[in-house]
Amino acid sequence: MNHKNIITQATSYTTKLLRNRFGKGPESVSIYLCDRCIVLHLKNFLSPVEKFLLSQEEEQAFRHTRELIMKSLLPELRSFLHDKLQLEVTDMHYDWGLYNASGVVIGLLQSDLELTPDYEGKELLHQQIIRATSELQKPPAWIDSWWINPKTLFVFRQGLTILLEKEFIGLGYENMLRMTKGKLEKSLLESHVQVEQIFKKKLADLYVDWSFDHDHSIIIYTFHN
């Protein structure tokens, strides 16, 4: 199946699935596909109840609600990508931009490619991300990044989880760890990684997620046109 058909079918399915589960679908779903991943970028995705929770500064309740829904939604989406679109998804991630009502859902794809091509600014970007990462956890054992399109940059890190985090997860505090770590790491990435200066582009959104089971993490930078 060609990229255009994959994107058309995935867009339609995802929009309906989100509307059914959340009671309100996103204003738009933009899907970006490359050999290594598929990224679903959601815009203006916030239900009236969620707006109320955020207006009352109930971010924890908001995230807990979405966490529960996404845990049941992701297996269905993964099955669709595999069974209908023949995409070999190895892992899935998601994150939200709370105050601009955006979000991403990412499927990592099975790929025979080991190394991605170099691009201008790649080495400097990696240096700054490693420095920011080291403030919160151990530096990644491996890092790679690639442009999915001119306004979407994907960063993949492997080997980050520290012993304390594993203990919290073992005690059942993964959701609290994910929320706290997300805030801290985004703050560190925003202050330590000068992506706008490196790439001469205006940053639109930053998303971060982890797979504690597989000990890897993704970062998505999206830029304005």
Verdict on whether the full-model pTM lies above 0.85: yes
Q: What is the pLDDT of residues 122-161, one digit of tens each?
A: 999 999 999 999 988 889 999 999 999 999 999 999 999 8
Task: Identify any residues that bridge with 155 across adjacent strands, giving them in sequence order.
Answer: 145, 219
First to last CA, the chain: 29
Tell me the per-residue pLDDT of 103-115, one tens digit each, with 9 for 90 and over. 999 999 987 666 7
- Average model confidence (pLDDT) across the chain: 90
Nearest to 45 by CA among 184, 203, 207: 207
- pLDDT > 70: what percent of the chain? 98
Two tokens, residue 44: 């203006």
**CA dist., res. 41 & res. 38, Å (int):** 10
With both helix axes pointing from N to C terminus, report the angle between 48-55 and 59-83 in degrees, rounded to the nearest 10. Answer: 140
Residue 182 CA to residue 154 CA, distance in Å, equals 17
pLDDT at 113: 61
The whole-number pLDDT of residue 155 equals: 97
